[in-house]
Structure 1
């Protein structure tokens, strides 16, 4: 392709890619100038460029690459292939018996490259190597075999630089000039003499300095604190609990692989969100991806609508607060088992995290329909409190508002159940009962029904006391007559109304009973007000 057409192709790609009107106009003018300098119009240049792009390259035998591609694909599928996930979880840094995760190894290499002076071997990493280590340091999963081998070579270079920095000045060579042969011989003699002196002092304890540096003192205090018997006992206790939980999880699921296998819910969410997975550019780490541009660290406030819809369609959302809390508890239990099996290095997939955020929204704001839902909301609030850190104020306020609404609705249902219990058996003749304080013998009381919305937890409130005098019981089709508010105890207890009712609540109760055909005195007795008050409310337009 001629040089002019090559530049024309780049400007054309910029014209098609940009959305700015100014950049489009500038690119169009540049395209016209390039075409004019080549002796063509813009249309002719575009046609010639498309023809050159569609013409296959001559002299290239593409069939020769088939076998190479096949061998590369077979090698990539092997367990020890460079592109296969590494079986190693990390490398030892400080303690040869303790393996640190890959992200900690990457951070360690970056720190050594930064703190060691360049004259003593520091700044040995190139910019591309530092960028690659930064990506691994932000990653929480496994790496490929090729990346693991590369990190191991980088760590070896770090150890060499650290040793050079530790042994500075012992060889008598200035670090700012190149060593000669005599310098090397002199350094070897000095190192041998130092070794002989150290060997002679093995049995002689070194005297402690009169005053240690402040940094050394702080480091010793820090080490002494975390190596104290109490801290070691606490760490041993945590490790014992972790091992016990990991063993219980393996016994429960059958094997360690089964612990990490997808549940039916996770498999459905994985399939529903498969079209939203976006691999991060420049990353060679397994599991380093986003969902429609969203990462788990972004939180639920930035959760895209497309991810929400995929999660909702992949697995039905719970309909009540109790169901949402049950699903949240099951997910937390499974995460705890997986953390115990991999020493806390487990991180759930993004579709599982998105489902967790949606469940938390439901637990914060979904209205409660029963006492079971109300208890589930209280359990959720206790769970948030036990986390040990505060959430944003907006989330706590939403949860508190939902709880207030639940309490208000429960209060309305309790009052409705009280009124329903008193009006369940009206007089068949439509007239109020005679106020004699006695009842017809031989009649039996009507059993009271529970309110299913209250889950049987407020039976004492929903069942006001309606005891009768000896030998008197109310029949199924007729309420017993009870004495008015005369201040005398006739063996009949009044309904249990909530204490400190406001005038508005009393007026509402009276208005609810006015259409029942009862007398003012009977309404006053049932509503807990005076007969004069009932008459005033009846006459009020």
Structure 2
């Protein structure tokens, strides 16, 4: 029996063992580390819906004889004996987290007007839901041939581009990703067990693919990609080494291309550079937001620190 939805919130129900078996097969036999990691995350979500730990859920697939029951039964008592006051401290932390969550919910109610509005699909989500409807099936990610870690299928990409404005720059993809994550965070505040709909996950996967693979053509793009790298490095589901290597390669390629464009744009027959070219180079370095001093920017570009300061002030105005 699948999990039940109420107001966008998934309520605990009987474990979907059929889907869990498919997910475990990917956990054990996925072709890449990223695919195996994504499958593990999906398995944890399936287990959580049924009120189980991942170990408890997986053990249920092997028959009742191997079921560990409540794996953590007695753990709090054991910790209390080892560290007196442990239970009280854990209770205090839970109470603090819940108080913060409820305070955030109060803010969101003032912003959205109602709980229902928080879970209502955005215009983009509604368009994606309708555009991808013909691809739905009973697979792990809800769409035929779709894998979250690999991104949408070619057919899904086409349908998405016909339905919504798919970003074509890294900084555009980052802005869309931030907007998507902000709405999801709002939903999780009301329902910590919220499970995104298939089209929401497909959009998140698409944006992640774009952030990983689109070429950076400006300093703004490079800054966005660095922010993306920072976000996945600090996420709860630690990304695999394979993905880090891919992103590092993209960043190296971005930097080489940017430096090459600057070198070509700055060159003149007499070996100098025009005022417009120097200004563009200064703006590029300022856009990177790396806290570089005016003096250092001036040294790199070949102008005076005063010129950099003037450009900085005009850009901030």
- TM-score, length-normalised on structure 1? 0.39
The structure showing larger relative contact order (alpha-carbon pairs under 8 Å, at least 6 residues apart) is 2
Match of 1:472 in 2: none
1:392–1:218: structure 2 CA closer, same or farther, 3 Å change rule? closer
1:367–1:406 Cα contact (<8 Å) kept: yes
Q: 5 Å matches for 1:346-365?
A: 346-365=194-213
Equivalent of 2:102, from 240, 243, 246? 243
Distance in 1 (CA, whole Å) between partners of 2:255 and 2:241 is 21
Local SS of the residue matching 1:401: helix
1:289–1:326: structure 2 CA closer, same or farther, 3 Å change rule? closer
Shift of 1:422: 5.2
RMSD (Å), alpha carbons: 3.8
Shift of 1:311: 2.3
Distance in 2 (CA, whole Å) between partners of 1:451 and 1:239 is 51
Shift of 1:266: 0.5
Equivalent of 2:143, from 291, 297, 303? 291
1:371–1:454 Cα contact (<8 Å) kept: no
Describe the superposition over 1:359-390 as per-residue Cα deviations: whole angstroms up to 9, x where unpaired.
11111121111111111111111101111443
Describe the superposition over 1:479-521 as per-residue Cα deviations: whole angstroms up to 9, x where unpaired.
xxxxxxxxxxxxxxxxxxxxxxxxxxxxxxxxxxxxxxxxxxx
Distance in 1 (CA, whole Å) between partners of 2:206 and 2:269 is 40
1:325–1:422: structure 2 CA closer, same or farther, 3 Å change rule? farther
Matched, 1:259 2:111: no
Match of 2:224 in 1: 376
Equivalent of 2:135, from 258, 270, 276? 276
Match of 2:78 in 1: 221
1:414–1:462 Cα contact (<8 Å) kept: no
Shift of 1:303: 4.5
Alignment: residue pair count: 239
Local SS of the residue matching 1:340: helix
Match of 2:149 in 1: 300
Match of 1:396 in 2: 244
- Structure 1 unpaired stretches of 5+: 1-84, 91-99, 108-136, 142-214, 281-287, 426-445, 468-541
Local SS of the residue matching 1:291: coil
Distance in 2 (CA, whole Å) between partners of 1:87 and 1:218 is 32
Shift of 1:234: 1.8
Distance in 1 (CA, whole Å) between partners of 2:185 and 2:240 is 24
Shift of 1:450: 4.2
Match of 1:230 in 2: 89
- Structure 2 unpaired stretches of 5+: 16-45, 51-71, 287-296, 306-317
Structure with the higher helix share, 1 or 2: 2
Distance in 1 (CA, whole Å) between partners of 2:126 and 2:180 is 14
Local SS of the residue matching 1:457: helix
Match of 2:29 in 1: none
- TM-score, length-normalised on structure 2? 0.63
